[in-house]
Each structure stands twice: as C-alpha cells, then as structure tokens.
C-alpha cells in the first residue's frame, strides 16, 4: 500500500500522531454539522445516550451539554478515538456522566433496550453492512427511542467522492438508502432532513 493510501485510511481508523491530529481537526471541522443535526432532535430529554463511532468525542460532549440529566456512552473501534473521547469529555467522565469504550458496531456487546438516544455522526460510511449494523443499533435502543444519523456527504453531490475513492471500505449513501436500511432493520418511523446549502443530511429513526 502506498504512503498516500495509508494516510487516507486513517480516516477509517485513526491511529498514531496523524490520527491524533485528524481527530482534533475533525472535532473542530464537524462541529457545525453536528450541531445542525442535533438541532433536529425533537425528543424527551434522554437518560441514556450512546454515540457510536465517537471519533474525537466532540459530538457526545455537545449532547451531554444539551441534556444535563443524561449519561453518555461512547463506542469506537479505534483505541485512539476511545482515549481522545475520554480526554475531550474528561469533565463529564470525572462527574460520572460519561464512559468511552472500545467496541464494534457490527457486534455491540451492550444491553438490549438500554438507550433512549443513539447517535452516529460521520461514521456509517465505514460500517460493514448497513442493515446488519442498524439491526445492532435497533437492539440496544429502548422501545420508543431514537436513532440519529448525521452525514456530511449525501452520496449525491460530488463532495466526499474524493475520499471514497481513496479510503478502503468507505461507502457514501444517499438519504433514501439510509432510510430504506433503517426500516429494514426494524425502525418504524424514519424521516430525514437535508441542509439547504450543503450536502449534509440527518436521518431520524424511531423504534
């Protein structure tokens, strides 16, 4: 694998010094997108939040700030992301409101029906089998709970194609494909919203 390819694959599973720089940069770069997605949540304040593919931890921090009565669990399959999420949320970790653990979305070793709200920001591109992974999410969401997916690239605009061609196992999905997979995984009410100027979209699924 050429050095260029190794660099781009850090997006899928950040590690090392470059991975650390990447996650710090993405925390800042994706803040607006994450807040835009979160703003579309219309839910009762959750008690248990799960953020899958937590990256640098910024989006879980925003959720715990928005919902001061909630407890947050972050899951990522990159050890570096687990550590950086703990560091970014150290105040919430110290307060007993946050835990960051190593895990794989295709085989979530978490209790069934535990979470009121599950989120996935800029991560489903790398999930191995969308319906299978969404079924794992559906298993851990409480009846009546919500799953929020927020993507920067909508699979329609040219944005994101550059990375898709260079990162192994990265797939861009159209909003309609995400909605279809969510319904196939067992979510009963699925809606999506598209940014009016950017290729951002959010899918909101109810169990």
Termini Cα distance of the chain:
42
What residue ranges define each of the domains in the chain, with the CATH number in brackets? Answer: 3-206 (3.40.50.150)
* pLDDT tens-digit map of 96-118: 999 999 999 999 999 999 999 99
pLDDT at residue 1 in the model: 39
- Per-residue pLDDT band for 17 (boundaries 50, 70, 90) equals confident
* pLDDT tens-digit map of 130-159: 999 999 999 999 999 999 999 998 888 766
Region 160-175 average pLDDT: 76
Decide if 84 contacts 59 (C-beta within 8 A): no
pLDDT at residue 2 in the model: 41
Residue 158 phi/psi, 5-degree rounding, is: -70, -20
pLDDT at residue 156 in the model: 81
Pairing, β 201-206 against β 98-102: unpaired
Region 171-191 average pLDDT: 95
pLDDT at residue 149 in the model: 98
Count of CB atoms situated within 10 Å of the CB of 78: 20
Residues in CB range of 172: below 8 A, 6 or more apart: 125, 153, 154, 155, 160, 161, 164
pLDDT at residue 13 in the model: 74
pLDDT at residue 10 in the model: 63
Give the torsion sign (CA, 151, 154, 158, 161): positive
pLDDT at residue 8 in the model: 56
């Amino acid at each position: 694998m050429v050095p260029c390819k190794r660099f781009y694959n850090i997006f899928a599973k950040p590690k090392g010094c470059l991975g650390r720089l990447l996650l710090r940069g993405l925390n800042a770069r994706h803040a607006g997108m994450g807040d835009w997605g979160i703003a579309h949540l219309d839910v009762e304040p959750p008690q248990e939040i799960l953020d899958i593919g937590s990256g640098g931890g910024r989006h879980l921090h925003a959720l715990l700030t928005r919902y001061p009565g909630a407890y947050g669990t972050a899951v990522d399959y990159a050890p570096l992301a687990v550590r950086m999420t703990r560091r970014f949320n150290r105040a919430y970790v110290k307060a007993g409101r946050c835990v960051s653990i190593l895990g794989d979305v295709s085989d979530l070793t978490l209790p069934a029906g535990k979470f009121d709200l599950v989120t996935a920001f800029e991560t489903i591109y790398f999930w191995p089998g969308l319906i299978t992974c969404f079924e794992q999410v559906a298993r851990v969401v409480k009846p009546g709970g919500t799953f929020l997916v927020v993507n920067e690239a909508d699979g329609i605009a040219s944005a994101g194609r550059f990375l898709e061609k260079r990162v192994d196992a990265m797939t861009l999905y159209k909003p309609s494909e995400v909605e279809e997979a969510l319904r196939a995984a067992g979510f009963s009410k699925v809606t999506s919203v598209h940014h009016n100027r950017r290729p951002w979209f959010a899918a909101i699924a109810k169990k």
